[in-house]
Amino acid sequence: MYRVQFSDRLILRGPGISTTNAHVSATLVDPRYRGKLLPSNDLDTATKRLIELTTTVDNAATSSAPPDASQSDVVEPEVKRPRLDEASPLDLLDAELQADSVPSEYTPAEEVADYLRQPNIQRQLDPLDWWKVNQQKYPRVADIARRYLSSPSTSVPSERLFSSAGDLYSDSRNRLLGQRADMLLFIKHNLKFV
């Protein structure tokens, strides 16, 4: 029910707004929605786009990674010769800590799929707080979320909107209904995107 109403309002506000990359990507990386408001065909496209973005993030991270120790002048300390006696409990602990118990790293597609399988958080919760807690689990998707969910760095757009609303209402247009004024302001500020 809500999904239909939301989609209808988006279509009413402006055809094609729900298919812009920014809107679709932001809806997908928001842990409150995870793309649940998108039609299934848009969700598939958005998921592929998110995988492409995370792959780009992954490639950028590996290309800007520092050179490994074999290429630099870093000298590793010598490893002491192991004792021939029976292993102590601390030696067993060291062996356990050094063992590769962490599963192999996700590919970007696996990371996106695992993120999308998680349950949504409550709508009242802050998605950025969720990402602070989960950025270690989904590092690539967290980077994309930081791009799309961050607030604008300035308040100029909102100030401009209030100024336009003040220009719209005048002594001769004081009986203008709020819905009509809302549509006029929407058209004025989004006409450049059409």
Q: What's the confidence (pLDDT) of residue 155?
A: 67
- If phi > 0 it is left, if psi is from -120 to 50 it is alpha, else beta; for residue 91 that is alpha
Q: What's the confidence (pLDDT) of residue 114?
A: 92
Angle at alpha carbon of residue 61, lines to 57 and 64, rounded to 5°: 135
CB neighbour list of residue 177: distance below 8 Å, 6 or more residues apart? none
Neighbours of 118 (CB within 10 A): 13
pTM over the 0.95 mark: no
Q: Based on C-alpha coordinates, what's the Rg of the chain? A: 26
Which two three-digit tokens encode residue 161? 């909107």
Q: What's the confidence (pLDDT) of residue 76?
A: 47
With beta carbons less than 8 A apart as the criterion, state whether 185 and 168 touch: yes
Note the Cα 100 to chain centre separation in Å.
29
Ordered per-residue pLDDT tens for the chain, 194 residues: 666 666 666 566 655 555 577 778 888 899 998 888 777 778 888 888 888 988 887 777 666 555 444 444 444 455 555 555 566 666 666 666 655 433 457 788 999 999 999 999 998 888 989 999 998 889 999 999 998 888 766 667 777 777 888 788 777 777 888 888 888 888 888 888 76
